[in-house]
Amino acid sequence: MTTTKVRPKLAVYKFASCDGCQLSLLDCEDELLAVAGEVEIANFPEASRAIQEGPYDVALVEGSITTPHDAERIQQVRKDAKFVVTIGACATAGGIQALRNFKDVKEFISLVYAKPAYISTLTTSTAIADHITVDFELRGCPVNKYQLLELISALLAGRKPNIPTHSVCVECKRRGTVCVMVAHGTMCLGPVTQAGCGAICPSYTRGCYGCFGPKEIPNTGSLSSWLKKEGQDNGQLLRAFRGFNANAEPFRKESERHE
């Protein structure tokens, strides 16, 4: 007797973003065909013309909410999907485009576009969770593809994804990277940034620039005072925290302390 396997239906959505996080799925060269065998890729316009109607079992959402239209569109995504998982710094914190939240967006429009009347945009760039209930958030600018595969595997198995929330420092210690801050005085956001990238930057002698956003309970104030002792000024600290996760609350508050 043969049984037909019912595969969960996957949808991938894009809001304001660079495409990099959904590209992570296509970058799983060794695993892509296996993934496609386990889940039904039902709505993924970047990869396929064939679009199936919802509902979907899992929606992966990339990008932040920056336009009135997108603020409405995300509501439908929630209605159509059992699990909504946001992927990447834009979807989980508003992304680099959230730098508008600290400035006058009208001035921004006139700087880039000759006819501002054609542009419809919100004054802020915000995380998906600010608009709908999100079931799981995957951090990173971009997300780590192995974390993405772990997430998909966990959802298939009906278990919680094993995504640590400790700091990048733990990953440096594990891979045996000499601390760039202690050894070279290099500014590093590793102590306050969530792990997941594999601590790449320090392994290239560069300080972490916080692309995975704040770790669980980060002590940003303490890190700032250490960095000041290493010679960083307020401008540098402001810019350090106001990066790809500028609108994540702990980083936003810390950057405001250095205005």
Partner 1 sequence: MSERTLKVDYLARVEGEGAMFVKIKDDKVQDIKLKIFEPPRFFEAFLRGRDFREAPDITARICGICPIAYLLGASYAMEDACGVTVTGQLRELRRLVYCGEWIESHILHMAMLHAPDFLGYQDAIEMAKDHPDVVKNALRLKKIGNDIMIILGGREIHPINLCVGGFYKVPQKRELTVMLDELKWGRDAMLGLIKLITTFPMPDFTQDYEFIALQHPNEYAIIEGKLVSNKGLDIPLSGYDAALEESHVEHSTSLHTHVKGRGTAHVGPLARYSLNFHKLTPLCQKVAREAGLGETCSNPFQSILVRGIEVLYAFEESIRIIEQYEPPEKSRVEVKPKAGTGYGCTEAPRGICYHRYTIDDKGIITDAKIVSPTAVNQPTIEKDLWDFVAPNVKMDDEKLQWHCEQAIRNYDPCISCSCHFLKLTVDRS
Of 1 and 111, CB closest to partner 1: 111
Torsion of CA 10, 16, 18, 24, to 10 degrees: -20
Q: Which of 96, 152, 169, 227 binds partner 1 (CB under 8 A)?
A: 96
Interacting positions 25-44 with partner 1 (CB under 8 A): 26-27, 29-30, 32-33, 36, 41
- The footprint of partner 1 on residues 151-210 (CB under 8 A) is 197, 200-201, 203-206, 209
Angle at which helix 234-241 crosses helix 220-229, to 10 degrees, equals 140
- With the C-alpha atoms ordered 223, 102, 235, 90, is the resulting torsion angle positive or negative? positive
The reply to whether 71 sits near partner 1 by the rule CB under 8 A is no
In the list 103, 173, 184, 257, the residue contacting partner 1 (rule: CB under 8 A) is 103
For partner 1, how many residues bind (rule: CB under 8 A)?
62
**CA distance linking residue 162 with residue 253, whole number of Å:** 29
- Measured N-to-C along each axis, helices 249-256 and 234-241 cross at an angle, to the nearest 10 degrees, of 160
User: How are beta strands 136-138 and 56-62 bridged, if at all?
Assistant: unpaired
62 - beta bridge partners? 14, 87
Exactly one of 18, 129, 149, 179 binds partner 1 (CB under 8 A); which one? 18
- Report the residue number, 73 or 135, with the smaller CB distance to partner 1: 73
Using CB under 8 A as the binding rule, whether residue 124 contacts partner 1 is answered as no
- Are 52 and 80 a contacting pair, CB within 8 Å? no
Q: Scan residues 46-65 and list those touching partner 1 (CB under 8 A).
A: 46-51, 63
Q: How far is CA 120 from CA 76, 114, 125, 127, 207, in A?
A: 20, 14, 13, 19, 37
Q: Which positions touch partner 1 (CB under 8 A)? A: 14-21, 23-24, 26-27, 29-30, 32-33, 36, 41, 45-51, 63, 66-67, 69-70, 95-97, 99-100, 103, 105, 107-109, 111-115, 118-119, 121, 141-142, 197, 200-201, 203-206, 209, 211, 236, 239, 244
